[in-house]
């Protein structure tokens, strides 16, 4: 806190803290009574759905902000969804590694309605990362607040079995793109989740998890690193800002280790423009703007690497994207990578998703990391 105070005047700091507190309030207000966190309450393509990925990061931020009950209710929602799909998981596990694995459209979905079903709308549903990220988030939550994982154990075991059987399959990435690739951030989320729950498993699962973690890390090091930095997918040379999460808060590769340092540096150089971070250089979604949630992820990585000043810069930029009513969008259009693509998306789905709860969550998470007061 003192370091931050040294560099930002107290009035500015109060404003940054205020936005963190209103963000926590906004998330609490919008959390469904089922425990689900809506991705965005109004945006046409997201309305009515909660994602394992977004939700896990939102729950982690709420947990870090001291909102223990809210985070716990989200994990209960995840657990109900998994428990209700134990026979689907058994089928997937049973056929994995045979010459007749279940097809992608029979794998677990990436998002669910608040009531916990898959919903009627078509989606790019096969994404493995969320099942790792929720494991990581629930274990972090339990460790942070001295809670037992017992309440979620059955769902944890199901997620572990699912990931152990299928972690090497290609699937859609964080951005619901490129289903034919194995994405390094997805592998990182899975490794983080398996690592986080390893101590809570029975002996056989714990052993299998240790082997999988070793294999995932080895695969990343051999095929997911180019010029010393993590890459967007195995065999690619590009980077993607989602890789920042693998460094921190998922802590799969240390921020001050060689892979961490190189990955932060290349993402900062290629994707960060004045604090606003793009997803990846070829992005055209809504013209390919800058994402406050990714700016905060870069801030978290800077913080983990010991650079608090640059971490505060990232928080400051994210705060600058808030609307006059204090809502954070999914992206802003000040610096578009391909402005010719913007209109097409607006026509298809309407204006950029605002508020996006995941943006608020990453803002809160970075504010907590920097020692700002976020409690109500
Ligand atoms: C993003 C996903 C996100 C979803 C809901 C999509 O546009 O690509 O990462 O989970 O929105 O926020």
Give dist(CA 261, CA 89) in Å, integer: 38
Contact 61, 364 (CB under 8 A): yes
Distance, CA 52 to ligand 1 centroid (Å)? 11
Asked if residue 54 has its Cβ within 6 Å of ligand 1, the reply is: yes
Given the CA of residue 46, which atom of ligand 1 is nearest to it?
Answer: 5
Which residues pair with residue 272 across a beta bridge?
A: 277
Q: What is the CATH number of domain 38-223?
A: 1.50.10.10
Centre a 10 Å sphere on the Cβ of residue 87 and count the other Cβ atoms it contains: 8
Hey, which residues are catalytic here? 173, 176, 330
Ligand 1 atom closest to Cα of residue 330: 12
Residue 375 C-alpha from the chain's centroid: 22
Domain coordinates in residue numbering, the chain: 1-30+239-376, 38-223
Centre of ligand 1 to C-alpha 111, Å, is: 10
Cα(71) to ligand 1 centroid in Å equals 20
**38-223 matches 1-30+239-376 in CATH topology:** yes
Task: Identify whether the C-beta of residue 233 lies closer than 8 Å to the C-beta of residue 168.
Answer: no
Q: What's the rounded Cα separation, in Å, for the pair 148 and 248? A: 24
Q: What is the pLDDT of residues 307-333, one digit of tens each?
A: 999 999 999 999 999 999 999 999 999
1-30+239-376: which CATH topology? Glycosyltransferase (1.50.10)
pTM of the full structure: 0.97
Whether 155 and 85 have beta carbons less than 8 Å apart is answered as: no
pLDDT in tens, 231-268: 999 999 999 999 999 999 999 999 999 999 999 999 99
**pLDDT tens for each residue of 195-224:** 999 999 999 999 999 999 999 999 999 999
Helix 308-320 × helix 10-30 angle, to 10°: 60
């Amino acid at each position: 806190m003192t370091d931050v105070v040294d560099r930002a005047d107290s009035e500015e700091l109060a404003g940054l803290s205020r936005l963190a507190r209103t963000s926590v309030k906004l998330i609490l207000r919008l959390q469904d009574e089922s425990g689900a966190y809506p991705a965005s309450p109004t945006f046409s393509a997201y309305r009515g759905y909660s994602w394992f990925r977004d939700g896990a990061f939102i729950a982690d931020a709420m947990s870090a902000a001291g909102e223990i009950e809210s985070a716990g209710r989200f994990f209960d929602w995840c657990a109900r969804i998994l428990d209700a799909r134990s026979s689907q998981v058994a089928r997937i596990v049973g056929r994995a590694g045979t010459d007749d694995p279940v097809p992608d459209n029979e794998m677990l979905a990436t998002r669910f309605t608040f009531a916990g079903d898959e919903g009627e709308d078509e989606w790019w549903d096969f994404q493995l990362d969320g099942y790792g990220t929720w494991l990581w988030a629930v274990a972090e939550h339990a460790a942070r607040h001295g809670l037992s994982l017992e309440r979620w154990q059955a769902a944890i075991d199901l997620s572990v079995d699912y990931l152990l059987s299928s972690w090497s399959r290609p699937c859609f990435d964080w951005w619901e793109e490129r289903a034919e690739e194995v994405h390094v951030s997805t592998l990182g989320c899975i490794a983080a989740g398996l690592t986080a729950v390893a101590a809570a498993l029975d002996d056989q699962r714990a052993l299998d998890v240790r082997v999988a973690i070793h294999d995932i890390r080895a695969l990343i090091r051999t095929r997911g690193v180019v010029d010393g930095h993590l890459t967007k997918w195995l065999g690619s040379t590009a980077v993607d800002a989602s890789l920042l999460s693998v460094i921190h808060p998922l802590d799969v590769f240390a921020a001050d280790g060689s892979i961490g340092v190189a990955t932060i540096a290349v993402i900062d150089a290629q994707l960060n423009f004045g604090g606003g971070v793009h997803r990846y250089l070829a992005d055209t979604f809504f013209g390919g703007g800058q994402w406050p949630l990714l700016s905060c992820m870069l801030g978290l990585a800077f913080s983990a690497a010991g650079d608090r000043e640059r971490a505060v810069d990232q928080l400051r930029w994210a705060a600058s994207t808030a609307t006059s009513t204090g809502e954070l969008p999914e992206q802003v259009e000040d610096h578009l990578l391909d402005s010719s693509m913007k209109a097409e998306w607006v026509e298809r789905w309407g204006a950029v998703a605002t508020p996006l709860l995941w943006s608020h969550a990453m803002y809160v998470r970075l504010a907590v990391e920097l020692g700002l007061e976020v409690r109500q």
